[in-house]
Each structure stands twice: as structure tokens, then as C-alpha cells.
């Protein structure tokens, strides 16, 4: 006889609520038709031009202004794709059920994975300024964005950094956060998975993703079903990125 202490009833797991204010609260991925983009994308941008001013010496009586300057080459962004995947081993389930479960597992984790990859790319591309306080770093990045990017950019930080800054620096606008200057803020859980401790700013982000693909195989020795769910992404920021290291929390 089996003791009741060894008997368990199978129930649904606790409902997982996605964390708010992540990358997809600010950036909506496109789902383009065709597959050409999965080889990589390239686009041109004039959003980082340096506009100038001039004046007429005949009107204001000052010295002649220098000749007007012309931007001759746009900024070109070229990026390659990456794949977000989740592999699970399941026992005692049909292929249809296992495929559905693997897709659900990937859906719950892919924003985190994309954030993790984006943070690593930013860390490799940006030379961060010397460490400042959280508010000082935010102010520097905000100002750099205002000068370097001719539009509304995006600020990126970890959840811990958002807590350190608090409501005096960040405000809730609908389903996302913004600075008090109106710049959207991504508070990425995936950002917290890697160094450095920093705040980054970028131009607008272009994100593209394909459909979810699944592959199934059997581990015949134990009759387990191995299911892989994956999706191809391309992410790129528009022409400008900046960042500041942040002093450690005390």
C-alpha cells in the first residue's frame, strides 16, 4: 500500500505575470513577411545630423557667417540576426501538447532573452562615462541623447537601478515608464543578468522577429520527448548610443 504522504495531486502551476516596463513596453517587434531580413538588415538614418544656424550680415551688421555646411553621408546601421530558443524535456505527453507547452515557455522568456542580448551589445559598443550617482548618470545620458539624437530616444536600465532612482526621476505613462523629461525608459529584467552597472541611452530601436518554430525528437533510451522552440530576431538602435557607469549601491 502506498502511504498518503507519497501521493500528490497534479494541479496547474502558479500563474506567472510578466514583469512590467520591459523592452516590449517601449518597442513593438515587427513581424515582416518573407525571410530576406533574417540574413541581416541595413538602414540609413539622418537622425544624428548636427544642424547649424546662420545669420545675414546685411540684417544684423555682424561679420559674414561661414559657408553653410552640408551633411553628405547618412549614418548606416547594419546588424545580423540572433535566435532566441528554449529547449525542454517532457515525459508522458503527446507531441502536440509538448509543442504547445514549449511555445508557451518560450513566450514567457523571450523578452528577457532579447533584453540580455541587447544589453551585451550595448556594453560592447558604448564607451561609458566615469561612474556617477544613479541620478547623475541618468541626467548625463538624458542630456547626451538630447544633443546627439534628433528625436525621442530610449533609456535602458536594470530593475534595481529603477528602484534606486525612484519616483522622483521616473514616472508611469500608460504601460511604460518615462523620465520626467519625457524619454521612454526600458527597465529590463534581462539587463540585470550581466555587467556593467550602467544606464544606457539609444536612438529608437527597430526590432523584427519571425514565427516560432519547433523541433521535436525522442530520447529513445528513456522515452522522453525533447522539444525545441525558437524564434529569429533582429534588433538595432538608430544611429546613437551613450552610457554612464553608476556607483555601486550602498
- Residue 151's pLDDT is 95
**Who contacts 64 (Cβ-Cβ below 8 Å, separation ≥6)?**
57
In a 3-state reduction of DSSP, which class is residue 93? coil
CB-CB contact of 154 with 186 (8 Å)? yes
**250 pLDDT band (50/70/90 cuts)?**
low
Q: What is the mean pLDDT of residues 221-234?
A: 88
Of the two residues 225 and 140, the one the predictor is more confident about is: 140
| CA neighbor of 24 nearest in space, from 153, 150, 148, 110 | 110
The reported pLDDT for the residue numbered 17 is: 84
Report whether 235 contacts 206 (CB < 8 A). Answer: yes
Q: Is the distance from CB of 137 to CB of 246 less than 8 angstroms?
A: yes
Average pLDDT, the chain: 91
Under a CB-based contact definition with an 8 Å cutoff, are residues 106 and 230 in contact? yes
Question: Which residues sit opposite 132 in a β-bridge?
Answer: 246
Q: Which is nearest to 122 in space by CA: 196, 209, 20, 23?
A: 196
31 or 61: which leads in pLDDT: 31
pLDDT of res. 64: 81
Q: What is the DSSP letter of 91?
A: S
Q: What is the pLDDT of residue 249?
A: 77
Q: Is the pLDDT of residue 172 over 90?
A: yes
Minimum mean pLDDT range among 43-47, 50-54, 198-202: 50-54
Mean pLDDT across the stretch 147-176?
95
| Residue 204: band (very low, low, confident or very high) from pLDDT cuts 50, 70, 90 | very high
Range name among 28-32, 46-50, 60-64, 161-165 with the lowest pLDDT average: 60-64
Nearest residue to 111 via CA among 178, 206, 189, 163: 189
Residue 210 has pLDDT above 80, yes or no: yes
Residue 219 pLDDT > 80 = no
Identify the CA nearest to 159 among candidates 206, 127, 201, 193: 193
Query: Per mean pLDDT, which range of 55-64, 116-125, 193-202 is the poorest?
Result: 55-64
Confirm if 232 and 83 have CB atoms less than 8 A apart: yes
Residues 144, 78, 210, 190, Cα dihedral to 10°: -40
Is 220's pLDDT higher than 80? no
Mean pLDDT of 3-24: 90
pLDDT value, residue 44: 93
pTM of the predicted structure, to 2 decimals: 0.90
Terminal Cα-to-Cα distance of the chain (whole angstroms): 57
pLDDT on residue 208: 97
Amino acid at each position: 500500500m502506498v502511504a498518503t504522504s507519497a501521493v500528490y495531486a497534479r494541479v496547474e502551476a502558479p500563474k506567472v505575470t510578466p514583469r512590467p516596463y520591459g523592452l516590449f513596453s517601449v518597442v513593438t517587434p515587427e513581424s515582416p513577411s518573407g525571410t530576406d531580413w533574417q540574413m541581416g538588415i541595413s538602414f540609413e538614418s539622418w537622425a544624428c545630423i548636427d544642424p547649424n544656424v546662420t545669420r545675414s550680415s546685411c540684417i544684423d551688421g555682424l561679420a559674414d557667417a561661414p559657408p553653410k555646411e552640408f551633411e553628405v553621408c547618412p549614418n548606416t546601421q547594419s546588424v545580423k540576426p540572433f535566435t532566441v530558443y528554449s529547449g525542454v524535456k517532457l515525459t508522458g505527453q503527446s507531441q502536440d501538447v509538448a509543442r504547445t507547452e514549449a511555445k508557451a515557455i518560450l513566450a514567457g522568456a523571450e523578452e528577457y532573452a532579447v533584453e540580455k542580448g541587447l544589453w551585451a551589445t550595448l556594453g560592447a559598443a558604448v564607451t561609458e562615462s566615469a561612474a556617477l550617482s544613479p541620478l547623475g548618470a541618468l541626467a548625463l545620458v538624458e542630456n547626451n541623447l538630447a544633443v546627439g539624437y534628433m528625436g525621442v530616444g530610449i533609456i535602458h536600465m536594470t530593475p534595481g537601478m529603477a528602484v534606486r532612482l525612484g519616483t522622483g526621476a521616473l514616472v508611469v505613462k500608460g504601460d511604460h515608464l518615462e523620465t520626467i523629461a519625457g524619454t521612454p525608459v526600458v527597465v529590463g529584467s534581462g539587463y540585470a543578468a550581466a555587467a556593467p552597472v550602467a544606464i544606457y541611452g539609444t536612438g529608437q530601436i527597430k526590432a523584427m522577429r519571425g514565427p516560432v518554430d519547433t523541433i521535436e525528437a525522442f530520447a529513445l533510451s528513456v522515452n522522453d520527448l525533447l522539444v525545441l522552440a525558437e524564434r529569429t530576431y533582429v534588433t538595432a538602435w538608430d544611429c546613437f548610443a551613450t552610457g554612464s557607469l553608476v556607483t555601486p549601491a550602498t
